[in-house]
């Protein structure tokens, strides 16, 4: 594969990399009239005809031809097919460190060139290895949504930490000056995380997003600290660093394999993968020796010490959005403890834990940085995140993982979905649901939103329709720490397209012809009291009718029942408010979230946060009935009248109540309402078979 363009960077003979973006002196090149990176001629000629996957009209569907600037542009098939492995890291590292006497500089991986013009810039800052290939297994996916530059620190280079910070800071300022409206992502691991924090402290005026894996700010607690004097006394012929670095690469693989066996995982694949990884690592001992010879290893440890002290002294000045990724089996640093410390120290910081991962998090199988960024709600292309235009739907593999991780919920609830055809006939399945948007689904919210997962996944499975839920802001942002679930609890909701409730987001979803899921009762229904099952708590005035009419959206009222077959509420809000301890917890939790109905009165205004305690039951079944779509097309002017819009609002509410009553009555005739008969049926007919239900 030929590479166009020339450069003094020695790795340009490799088909893996584009030319570097710094000159031999380390200064950023400013020839902005030329294409910034050389690209493969083969890649350039085929990119415009690749089959792409888009989100449009509320659906995921394939479209050939050039990409739409308003659609989320991710080449699902290509990005999931061309993943790299640990072996690729070693192979490419050999190219980078060969004849390498230049100063630190940037390079861009060749396979990351399919990003769009408005993609943010991602600067990768390496850890102890310094090679800059820590994202090797991530390049293909990241390259779809970011412009990627990786910092390479040559093996023999002895640039000080302060000068490394200056290099990155200079790049950040130049790129911010060139494109001031796009955010710059600093992705750093260990040492690189310290560089990122230092740069963020120096440039508070630049729009930065920090993604930090196992930051070396905790180096003072590293188990290597007492070993440094011993290392200095060892002869150069003893490669002390090699076995240690190999352990870092896989997070102590032998221990992980043993733990997997204890957990009951399949032993053969576990040991097969383990053997393969160990064989790969042992076959590249010489590469590790070249990357971290003794003198370089000692230099890097001293660099860690200085970096940790420097970054810690400037944490107070860091204002950037920050996502800390912490490994539970980091053999170098106490990363999970440090992640919590940084979360409390930084004003806009979240953490995600990877309990079974080691120090080199980004090189491990199963860790997909794009998925992590999407789930945490950290991807944006402008100054502020746009939950509609910045959203990327789950890829098939992401959806599969989500579905499998929640399979027990699906098995326990055995969802039955019924829809209504144009002639009023009720059928099983989603044949009565319009395939083209905008469509607005309006319903009652079960306790804790129990109906959401089976509903959203079944729409994807049956009709390839992505339901974009209007959700409470507590799933996206907190005003302060309190007695609330961690934000990571809601990663799946964000992955599946939930947006914070607001008029602007509602407008954008309908204007983009999405399938929108709305619960007017909101948190009041989600956190209802004893005896309030299937009781609607809707605002007195309509909140959605005129907006739906503005875009000619079809309104589909629907009901969902089954909560009372899953759990019995025993200790509700009223009970808790009588006890001072629980009352203080409720007040603390409520003060930590945004109140979305400050101007409302009555029951819907009472949205105090609490956890209802319930007793689980032997699972019954969830049932959903979707009424006949109500047309608003052509009624825009008519529904501007408050009385007319309120009439339609009451009609929708009445239809929801009718659907609930219909399902509660009909489920009594379902011989498979209980879980045991469903399991028997599936054991007889196959666990992928559809379990029958009542006749609609």
pLDDT of residue 500: 95
Residue 252 has pLDDT above 70, yes or no: no
Cα–Cα distance measured from residue 123 to residue 149, given in angstroms and rounded to the nearest whole number: 5
Residue 185 has pLDDT above 80, yes or no: yes
CB 690 within 8 A of CB 621: no
Residue 353 has pLDDT above 70, yes or no: yes
CA atoms within 13 A on the CB side of 471: 24
The CA-based dihedral angle spanning residues 219, 169, 22, 372, taken in that order and rounded to the nearest 10 degrees: 60
Enumerate residues 6+ apart whose C-beta is below 8 A from 155: 97, 100, 130, 290, 291, 292, 293, 296
CA-wise closest residue to 497 among 317, 375, 593, 639: 375
What confidence tier does 366 reach under pLDDT thresholds 50, 70, 90?
Answer: confident
How many residues in total does the chain contain?
696
pLDDT of residue 47: 31
- Characterize 168-206 residue by residue with b for buried, 16 or more Cβ atoms within 10 angstroms of its Cβ, and e for exposed: bbebbbebbeeeeebbbbbbbbbbbbbbbbbbbbbbeeb
311-345 pLDDT per residue, tens: 999 999 999 999 999 999 988 899 999 999 999 99
Average of per-residue pLDDT across 461-487: 88
Helix H or strand E segment including 97: helix 86-97
Neighbour tally for 65: CB within 10 Å? 10
The CA-based dihedral angle spanning residues 640, 641, 644, 648, taken in that order and rounded to the nearest 10 degrees: 30
Enumerate residues 6+ apart whose C-beta is below 8 A from 418: 426, 427, 428, 429, 623, 624, 625, 626, 696
513: left (phi over 0), alpha (psi -120 to 50) or beta: left
Neighbour tally for 474: CB within 10 Å? 23
Enumerate residues 6+ apart whose C-beta is below 8 A from 675: 412, 414, 618, 619, 620, 621
pLDDT of residue 283: 66
Sole residue written with tokens 């011993």: 230
Query: What percentage of the chain has pLDDT greater than the value 90?
Result: 60
Cα–Cα distance measured from residue 214 to residue 253, given in angstroms and rounded to the nearest whole number: 18
Cα–Cα distance measured from residue 290 to residue 541, given in angstroms and rounded to the nearest whole number: 71
Cα–Cα distance measured from residue 322 to residue 275, given in angstroms and rounded to the nearest whole number: 36
Residue 513 has pLDDT above 50, yes or no: yes
More confident residue, 134 or 78: 134
pLDDT of residue 267: 41
Cα–Cα distance measured from residue 290 to residue 98, given in angstroms and rounded to the nearest whole number: 9
CA-wise closest residue to 134 among 118, 153, 119, 120: 153
417-452 pLDDT per residue, tens: 999 999 999 999 999 999 999 999 999 999 999 999
Q: List beta partners, residue 353.
A: 326
Residue 255 has pLDDT above 50, yes or no: no
Helix H or strand E segment including 187: strand 184-189
438 preceded by a cis bond (ω within 30 of 0): yes
More confident residue, 541 or 107: 107
Structure tokens at 649: 């609002």
pLDDT of residue 52: 30
Average of per-residue pLDDT across 516-529: 94
Highest mean pLDDT among 177-191, 397-411, 680-694: 177-191
pLDDT of residue 236: 59
pTM: 0.84
DSSP symbol at 630: B
Residue 82 has pLDDT above 60, yes or no: no
pLDDT of residue 237: 52
CA-wise closest residue to 90 among 130, 133, 128, 123: 133
Highest mean pLDDT among 25-39, 255-269, 497-511: 497-511
More confident residue, 274 or 535: 535
pLDDT of residue 99: 62
Q: From residue 7, how far is each of 11, 107, 188, 401 by CA, in Å?
A: 9, 11, 26, 43
Average of per-residue pLDDT across 62-91: 52
Residue 219 has pLDDT above 60, yes or no: yes
Average of per-residue pLDDT across 38-54: 29
Sole residue written with tokens 């290939």: 133
Helix H or strand E segment including 432: none
Cα–Cα distance measured from residue 283 to residue 285, given in angstroms and rounded to the nearest whole number: 6
pLDDT of residue 281: 56
Neighbour tally for 639: CB within 10 Å? 21
287-307 pLDDT per residue, tens: 877 888 888 888 998 999 999
Residue 181 has pLDDT above 80, yes or no: yes
What domains does the chain contain, in order, with CATH numbers?
67-376 (3.40.50.1820), 396-566+619-685 (3.40.1130)
Exposed / middle / buried, residue 545 (Cβ in 10 Å: 0-12, 13-18, 19+): buried
- Angle, helix 161-178 to helix 191-202, in steps of 10 degrees: 60
573-632 pLDDT per residue, tens: 999 999 999 999 988 888 888 777 656 666 666 678 889 999 999 889 999 999 999 999
Mean pLDDT for all residues in the chain: 82
532-547 pLDDT per residue, tens: 999 999 998 887 999 9
CA-wise closest residue to 463 among 438, 499, 434: 434
């Amino acid at each position: 594969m030929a590479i166009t363009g020339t450069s003094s960077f020695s790795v340009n003979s490799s088909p893996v990399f584009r030319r570097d973006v710094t000159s031999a002196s380390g200064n950023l090149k400013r020839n902005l009239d030329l294409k910034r990176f050389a690209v493969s001629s083969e890649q350039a000629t085929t990119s415009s005809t690749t089959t792409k996957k888009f989100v449009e009209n509320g659906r995921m569907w394939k479209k050939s031809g050039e990409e739409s600037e308003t659609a989320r542009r991710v080449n699902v098939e290509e990005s999931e097919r061309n993943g790299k492995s640990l072996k690729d890291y070693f192979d490419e590292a050999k190219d980078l460190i060969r004849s390498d006497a230049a100063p630190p500089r940037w390079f861009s991986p060749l396979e990351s060139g399919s990003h769009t013009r408005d993609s943010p810039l991602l600067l990768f800052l390496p850890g102890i290895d310094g090679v800059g290939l820590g994202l090797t297994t991530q390049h293909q996916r990241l390259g779809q949504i970011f412009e990627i530059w990786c910092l390479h620190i040559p093996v023999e280079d002895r640039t000080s930490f302060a000068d490394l910070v200056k290099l990155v800071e200079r790049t950040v300022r130049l790129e911010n000056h060139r494109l001031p409206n796009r955010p710059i992502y600093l992705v750093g691991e260990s040492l690189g995380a310290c560089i990122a924090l230092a740069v963020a402290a120096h440039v508070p005026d630049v729009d930065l997003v920090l993604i930090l894996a196992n930051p070396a700010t905790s180096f003072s607690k590293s188990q290597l600290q007492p070993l440094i004097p011993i290392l200095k006394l060892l002869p150069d012929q003893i490669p002390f660093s090699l076995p240690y670095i190999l352990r870092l690469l896989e997070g102590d693989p032998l221990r992980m394999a043993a733990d997997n066996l204890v957990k009951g995982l399949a032993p053969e694949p576990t040991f097969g993968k383990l053997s393969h990884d160990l064989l790969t690592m042992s076959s590249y001992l010489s590469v590790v020796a070249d990357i971290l010879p003794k003198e370089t290893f000692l230099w890097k440890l001293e660099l860690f010490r200085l970096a940790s002290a420097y970054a810690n002294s400037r944490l107070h000045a860091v204002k950037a959005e920050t996502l800390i990724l912490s490994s539970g089996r980091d053999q170098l640093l106490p990363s999970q403890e440090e992640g919590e410390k940084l979360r409390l120290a930084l004003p806009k910081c979240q953490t995600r834990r990877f309990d079974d991962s080691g120090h080199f998090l980004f090189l491990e199988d199963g860790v997909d940085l794009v998925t992590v960024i999407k789930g945490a709600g950290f991807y944006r292309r402008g100054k502020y995140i746009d939950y509609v235009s910045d959203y990327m739907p789950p890829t098939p593999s992401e959806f599969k993982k989500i579905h499998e991780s929640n399979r027990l919920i699906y098995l326990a609830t055995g969802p039955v979905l019924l829809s209504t055809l144009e002639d009023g006939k009720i059928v099983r399945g989603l044949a009565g649901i319009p395939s083209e948007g905008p469509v607005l689904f309006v319903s009652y919210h079960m306790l804790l939103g129990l109906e959401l997962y089976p509903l959203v996944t079944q729409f994807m499975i049956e009709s390839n329709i992505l339901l974009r839920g209007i959700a409470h802001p507590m799933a996206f942002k907190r005003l302060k720490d309190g007695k609330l679930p961690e934000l990571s609890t809601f990663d799946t909701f964000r992955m599946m397209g939930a947006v914070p409730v607001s008029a602007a987001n509602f407008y954008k979803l309908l204007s983009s012809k999405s399938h929108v899921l709305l619960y007017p009762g909101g948190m009041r229904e989600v956190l209802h009291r004893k005896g309030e099952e299937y009781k609607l708590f809707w605002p007195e005035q309509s909140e959605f009718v005129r907006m739906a009419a503005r875009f000619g959206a079809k309104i589909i009222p629907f009901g969902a029942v089954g909560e009372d077959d899953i759990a019995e509420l025993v200790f509700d809000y009223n009970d808790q408010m009588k006890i001072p301890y629980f009352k203080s917890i409720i007040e603390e939790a409520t003060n930590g979230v945004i109140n979305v109905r400050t101007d409302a009165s009555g029951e819907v205004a009472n949205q105090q946060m609490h956890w209802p305690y319930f007793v689980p039951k032997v699972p019954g079944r969830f049932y959903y009935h979707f009424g006949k779509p109500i047309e608003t097309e052509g009624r825009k002017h008519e529904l501007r009248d408050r009385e007319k819009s309120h009439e339609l609002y009451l009609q929708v509410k009445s239809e929801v109540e009718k659907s609930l009553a219909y399902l509660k009555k009909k489920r009594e005739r379902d011989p498979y309402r209980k879980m045991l008969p469903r399991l028997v049926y599936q054991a007889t007919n196959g666990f992928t078979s559809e379990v029958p239900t009542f006749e609609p």
